[in-house]
């Protein structure tokens, strides 16, 4: 006996999608919002050299790694003024074995990837004020140099240097997880909104023949707008104009711009709302999206992801989204006002 396929009702679909959305958000919370596995230690040190001798004892600091994994050690000390000595850095693992050693006058680099066990690591800094001291450090820590020390050591001087040593866990970053899960939740949310907006059982929007023509023309204008936008951005890059916006943000903003052009045409030519769509529900849905965007803007502003290195970063896309939503709501209101006046 063949089993009949029972179609899900709209309410069942919405419940299922809400559960799916909650599940995705929960996975995101467990994976991304969980404790950061990386660690950093910063040491600020005043160093004085008198008659070619340093008067500061070597310093050390501890850094704890909470989980086994692959890490890169990022070492950075880059004082603005030239310093007259070389810093010797070495790091010992939980059982006292040396895992990393380097000497440099100034440094901003990452080590090769290495597998590290959880535990406490000690970071040692020594201040080397002569060729002999530097070569002794190399010998002690099995470092090699092709040309020997070429650094000009100072006889006297005082400097303040800030040392930053980080253990960066290699893996998918919280931002990447955020983008992936945000995208999935966004798709689920849009599908739920479609089900809520449409008046019938179907989640598919239904348009009549005139509306299909209007939408085709709207898409054409949207395509032209995107092409012009891309040409403009391309030209700005050709003339090497510095645009204070990251390329990813520019590309997505161009897509949003083209959608806005298409939407504006469709709204004014009455091809935007499908026959089975409830306009009030559409306005409410857009308002909900606007609220979500506004919350995201606040979160991004607090976490500092809106601007990166003086350029609008991925966090600013919520601002673009919010502006687009406000724009669409204004266009819908203007169209409703015009229609009312004509009636």
Partner 1 sequence: MKNLNLKSARAAKDMSQDDLAKLCGVSRQTINAIEKGDYNPTIKLCREICRTLGKTLDELFWEDEE
**Site for partner 1, rule CB under 8 A:** 207-211, 270, 275
- Helices within the chain (DSSP H only): 10-31, 131-140, 174-197, 209-238, 247-268, 279-303, 317-342
Shortest gap between Cβ of 192 and partner 1 (angstroms)? 25
Report the residue number, 85 or 273, with the smaller CB distance to partner 1: 273
Burial of 126: CB neighbours in 10 Å, binned 0-12, 13-18, 19+: buried
Report the residue number, 44 or 341, with the smaller CB distance to partner 1: 341
Burial of 333: CB neighbours in 10 Å, binned 0-12, 13-18, 19+: exposed
Q: Can you read off the two tokens belonging to residue 80?
A: 């603005």
For residue 109, the SS3 value is strand
Shortest gap between Cβ of 263 and partner 1 (angstroms)? 16
Report the residue number, 53 or 210, with the smaller CB distance to partner 1: 210
Handedness of CA 123, 37, 75, 303 (dihedral sign): negative
Are 188 and 20 in contact by the 8 Å Cβ rule? The answer is: yes
Q: Can you read off the two tokens belonging to residue 168?
A: 């960066």
Shortest gap between Cβ of 270 and partner 1 (angstroms)? 4
Report the residue number, 155 or 208, with the smaller CB distance to partner 1: 208
Report the residue number, 168 or 264, with the smaller CB distance to partner 1: 264
Shortest gap between Cβ of 273 and partner 1 (angstroms)? 8
Which among 321, 322, 316, 289 has a CA at the least distance from the CA of 303?
316
Shortest gap between Cβ of 208 and partner 1 (angstroms)? 4
Report the residue number, 122 or 205, with the smaller CB distance to partner 1: 205
DSSP string computed for 310-338: TEE-GGGHHHHHHHHHHHHHHHHHHHHHH
Shortest gap between Cβ of 325 and partner 1 (angstroms)? 24
Give the single-character DSSP code of 52: T
Shortest gap between Cβ of 275 and partner 1 (angstroms)? 5
Q: Which residues, including other chains, have CB under 8 Å from residue 25's CB and lie 6 or more apart?
A: 181, 185
Report the residue number, 282 or 319, with the smaller CB distance to partner 1: 282
């Amino acid at each position: 006996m063949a089993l009949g396929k029972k179609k899900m009702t709209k309410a069942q679909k919405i419940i299922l999608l809400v559960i799916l959305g909650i599940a995705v958000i929960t996975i995101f919370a467990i994976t991304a919002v969980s404790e950061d596995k990386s660690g950093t230690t910063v040491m600020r040190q005043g160093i004085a050299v008198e008659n070619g001798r340093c008067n500061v004892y070597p310093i050390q600091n501890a850094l704890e790694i909470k989980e086994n994994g692959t890490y890169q050690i990022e070492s950075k000390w880059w004082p603005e003024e030239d310093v007259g000595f070389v810093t010797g850095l070495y790091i010992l693992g939980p059982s006292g074995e040396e895992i990393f050693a380097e000497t440099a006058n100034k440094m901003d680099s990452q080590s090769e990837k290495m597998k590290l066990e959880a535990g406490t690591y000690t970071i040692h800094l020594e201040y080397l004020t002569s060729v002999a001291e530097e070569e002794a450090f190399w010998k002690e820590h099995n470092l090699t140099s092709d040309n020997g020390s070429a650094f000009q050591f100072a006889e006297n001087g005082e400097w303040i240097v800030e040392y930053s040593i980080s253990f960066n866990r290699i893996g998918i970053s919280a931002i990447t997880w955020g983008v992936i899960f945000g995208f999935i939740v966004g798709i689920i949310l849009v599908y739920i909104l479609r089900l809520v907006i449409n008046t019938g059982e179907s989640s598919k929007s239904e348009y009549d023949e005139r509306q299909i023509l209007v939408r085709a023309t709207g898409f054409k204008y949207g395509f032209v707008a995107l092409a012009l936008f891309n040409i403009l951005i391309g030209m700005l890059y050709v003339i090497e104009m510095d645009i204070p916006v990251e390329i990813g943000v520019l590309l997505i903003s161009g897509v949003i711009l083209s959608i806005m052009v298409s939407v504006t045409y469709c709204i004014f030519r009455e091809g935007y709302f499908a026959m089975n769509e409830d306009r009030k529900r559409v306005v409410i849905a857009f308002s909900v999206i606007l609220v979500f965007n506004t919350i995201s803007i606040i979160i991004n502003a607090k976490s500092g992801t809106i601007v990166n290195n003086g350029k609008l970063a991925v966090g600013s896309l919520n601002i673009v989204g919010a502006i687009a939503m406000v724009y669409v709501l204004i266009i819908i209101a203007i169209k409703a006002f015009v229609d009312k006046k004509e009636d």
